[in-house]
Amino acid sequence: MAKKIAVLLSGCGVYDGSEIYETVLTLLRLDQSGAEYQCIAPNDAMMHVINHMTGEEMSESRNILVEAARLARGNIIDLAEAKQEDFDGLILPGGFGAAKNLCDFAVKGADMSIRQDVIEFVRSFHEALKPVGLMCIAPVMVPQLFGEKSVCTIGTDPSVAEAITAMGGEHQDRAVDDICVDPVNKLVTTPAYMLAGGIFEASKGIFALVDEVLSMIKKYN
């Protein structure tokens, strides 16, 4: 029976939502591996909307779920309706939406807070001993989601690594094509576009993360 993975998105677009290449590469690798997936996102307003041509904020409001539906080709469900019991694992792509719409790290740094529905959903996988993968900037949520001494990577950025340490996590530097595995928490992280200079380079670590999450499902089932 095919394994089914929940993919938690935060919008659509690197500057205000889920990073598009990271998301597509994740879905591609899952499909290549014979796994099923379901995209999920909170049904709420984005923190703000960024013009991806200019990098400037736009004077409009958009919905996280509606924007994420672009990436999922419409096949997406509201986070409020998602149940951990329906999945074997969970993956969170990066993009600034992870640091703006799933939590407020982009604004508050180490003093950040995470959306309660995100906390409950991710922790439900942890409590059920199911693997979770996070990439790019998303691992900043690891200490609050998995507890003190949980191990992760965002690459080699010293300021973000310091914030993770300040929140009680353990950061390990990793190259773009590498992953960081915390076997105690069944947690896998990779730098992706925190370091990647192009889509092929990003694919190496992302594919490795997906492979490890799927391997963990087989190992612990």
List active site positions: 136
Whether 95 and 10 have beta carbons less than 8 Å apart is answered as yes
Distance CA 46, CA 175 (A): 31
> What HEC string does 51-117 produce?
CCCCCCEECCCCEHHHHHHHHCCCCEEEHHHCCHHHCCEEEECCCHHHHHCCECHHHHHHHCCECHH
DSSP H/E element including 13: none
Cα–chain center distance at 158: 20
